[in-house]
Amino acid sequence: MTMRITVLGTDYEGLTVAVGLATLGHTVTTVDRNHSRTRRLQRGAPIGEDIDLSRQMKIVLREGQLKFTSEPENCLAETDVVIIAGIPGLDPDGIPERTAILRTAECLSGAIAAFSTVIVTARIPTGSCRILQDWLNDAMYTGAVNVVAFPTFFSQPEGLRGFLHPDRIVLGYESEQPRRVLDELFANLLLNDTSIFHVSWEAAEMMRAAGGTLAAGIPEERAAVRAVDDVEKIFSRVGQRR
């Protein structure tokens, strides 16, 4: 099923997620407050040294699966999923304060919107998704919005290939409500027998902060449940020490 997605952030990872989801058949609008940058991207400006990503971006732009805007309010009323892919003003190798994610999500505050799921792919400190969930519960006028942590582990210059052909997908969330949305979002990847692991917000956040080294250690199939349980216990102990 085709979904309507809004991606907040046009750094390398944000563009990779946006182009990747558009390639999977979803309709994606990517947001950057910088008007001149959105105009350049809408014209298909090259993305660093990633030739494959730049080429595919032009294809999905031409097909109408991807577009760029500097006004998120115009697309939130019709989107199914919002993805927070970047924290403005942050060094690419840095991790922001927990409240930085709220500044990025400020455009969602009080929105009369259709989306039911906010997915966070940006690198954030442990506990940020829980803060964001509490804030959205107070800020949204419409039905419940569920926060999901989706750590991405690809790197330049082959990010698009890594996104479209992952060894596994790790998703962190608190309740079972986002499951249907997530199954639809990743349906084409799951058809290729990609393994998917469901963990807590904190586990997913720490995997993302570690750059994927923890996620890479999760084995396949039979040992998966036990391994995820072990990872959760380790993260729980780390959190208690803090």
- Look-up of token digits 């952030």: 9
pLDDT value for 225: 41
Q: Per the structure block, which two tokens stand in for 83?
A: 């993805």
Predicted local confidence at residue 242, as pLDDT: 41
Strand partners, 147: 118
Task: Output the pLDDT for position 88.
Answer: 78
What pLDDT sits at residue 235?
47
Q: Where are the beta strands (DSSP E) in the chain?
A: 4-8, 27-31, 66-69, 81-84, 117-120, 146-149, 168-172, 195-199
pLDDT at 217: 52
Structural domain boundaries enclosing 134 = 4-241
CATH number assigned to the domain comprising residue 150: 3.40.50.720
* CA–CA distances in Å: residue 15 to residues 37, 70, 75: 12, 14, 17
Distance CA 229, CA 3 (A): 32
- HSE, CB side, 13 Å, CA atoms: give it for residue 141: 7
Per-residue pLDDT, 218: 53
- Determine the pLDDT at residue 99: 87
Count: domains in the chain: 1
What is the model's pTM? 0.86
pLDDT tens over the chain, length 242 residues: 799 999 999 999 999 999 999 999 999 999 998 999 999 999 999 888 889 999 999 999 999 999 999 998 888 888 999 999 988 766 656 667 888 899 999 988 866 677 999 999 998 889 999 999 999 988 886 668 999 999 998 888 889 999 999 988 999 999 999 999 999 999 988 777 788 899 999 999 998 887 655 555 555 433 334 444 555 554 454 444 44
pLDDT at 83: 98
End-to-end CA distance of the chain: 42
Phi-psi region of 154 (alpha: psi -120 to 50; beta: other; left: phi over 0): beta
Judge contact between 28 and 2, C-beta under 8 A.
Answer: no
